[in-house]
Amino acid sequence: MEYRFARRMSCIPPSFLGELFRVSSQPGVISFAGGLPGSEHIDVDGLAGAARDVLSDEGRSALQYSTTDGYRPLREFIANRYRQRLDLPATADEIQIVNGSQQCLDLMAKILADPGDHIGMERPGYLGAIEAFSLYEPVIHAVPLTGSGPDLTSLEALVREHPLRFFYGIPNSQNPSGQTYSRECRKALAEILDGTGTILYEDDAFGELFFDGKPRIPVRRFLPDQAVISGSFSKIVAPGMRIGWIYAPGPILAQFNAAKQAADLHSNFLSQVILHRYLSTHDLDSHVRKVSRVYGGHCRLMCDLLDDLMPGGVTHTSPEGGMFLMCTLPAGISSMAVFRKGISEGVAVLPGTPFYVDGGGEDTIRLNFSSAGEDAIREGLERLARVVRKIA
């Protein structure tokens, strides 16, 4: 049988993740390659209690079909959190529940981009976004990322030259770099896009995880009618529940709702009800502060070890929050060589090349500091330093 697939399937960039997960799961390998939150911070007992209560009190309704929008009490919780934390005038009617914020990437591209349309994103950019957007065959333009956010001169020139359907960015603790936009950059970015017809897609998967506990102003504050925000409980409660959301203006949300209904009818309703019961009976703010402090300690330890152990020429970002940082290797050292040699030495990293939609990143690696403990970080960085020295 000769199978024939849609042309769009050939547009997806080759995935490195299957190979990555295979080698990272080998016994004895310390992995800094994945994007997992720390498993020890998942409140298994609390979620189990919430599940028991839901099944006991409202099991039949929680196990039934529901609306595409999602469980309204959970949407009200999210909207109220936007009002209290970020002073955004969100309402439950502007929130829709999705299967993790990754589903937003697919559905936003589906409703906004036709083949050949122009979209923009950061360089380096989130690997999952590159893969999701590529299915819809747009022309993806990469805007260089600086220490304070996307290069505004490049973005302004791009917007003038091409009518972008949307610009996708992660202003808070960007994946893969770990960098955070400055307030000045956020405001200037909004001014560049204002009135252009370009939608800003603000991915805020890591906005709760700042080490100092202080929220950063969303770009949407400066661009309310032209921006959408996606968020997720995966990084702060439990990724296996697959509960995220989109916060968007009504006309965009109506199209998004239609596309989601056609895709899956609605997200896992039982998970939504259990999650809301859990959030109603537990202090999320206290939990987030605790997790952020731990991740901050891990990040500082990793940065210090990189400075102390690595040979000259290795540089790295210094995140204010999130789960990742990015290293630049000395000239002539390939990230793929570091990856392959690292596996033989018992340490896994993620080469930077998949994050560059227009090519590049051969001298960069992404490191995750949220899933490994302090002892594993120390041992893993010693192994990684030996690998880089040997290749050098």
Q: Where in the chain is the domain with CATH 3.90.1150.10?
A: 14-43+286-391
In angstroms, the CA 377 to CA 309 distance is 12
In angstroms, the CA 128 to CA 21 distance is 15
Q: Where in the chain is the domain with CATH 3.40.640.10?
A: 44-281
Token output for 189 = 């970015």
Residue showing tokens 């199209």: 255
The CATH code for residues 44-281 is 3.40.640.10
The CATH code for residues 14-43+286-391 is 3.90.1150.10
pLDDT truncated to tens, each residue of the chain (392 aa)?
999 999 888 888 877 766 666 766 778 899 999 889 999 999 999 999 999 999 999 999 999 999 999 999 999 999 999 999 999 999 999 999 999 999 999 999 999 999 999 999 999 999 999 999 999 999 999 999 999 999 999 999 999 999 999 999 999 999 999 999 999 999 999 999 999 999 999 999 999 999 999 999 999 999 999 999 999 999 999 999 999 999 999 999 999 999 999 999 999 999 999 999 999 999 999 999 999 999 999 999 999 999 999 999 999 999 999 999 999 999 999 999 999 999 999 999 999 999 999 999 999 999 999 999 999 999 999 999 999 999 98
Distances (CA, A) of 172 to 13, 209, 232, 246, 290: 25, 9, 13, 16, 19
Helix (H, G, I), strand (E, B) or coil at 229: strand
Q: 136 Cβ partners below 8 Å, 6+ apart?
A: 8, 109, 110, 113, 114, 115
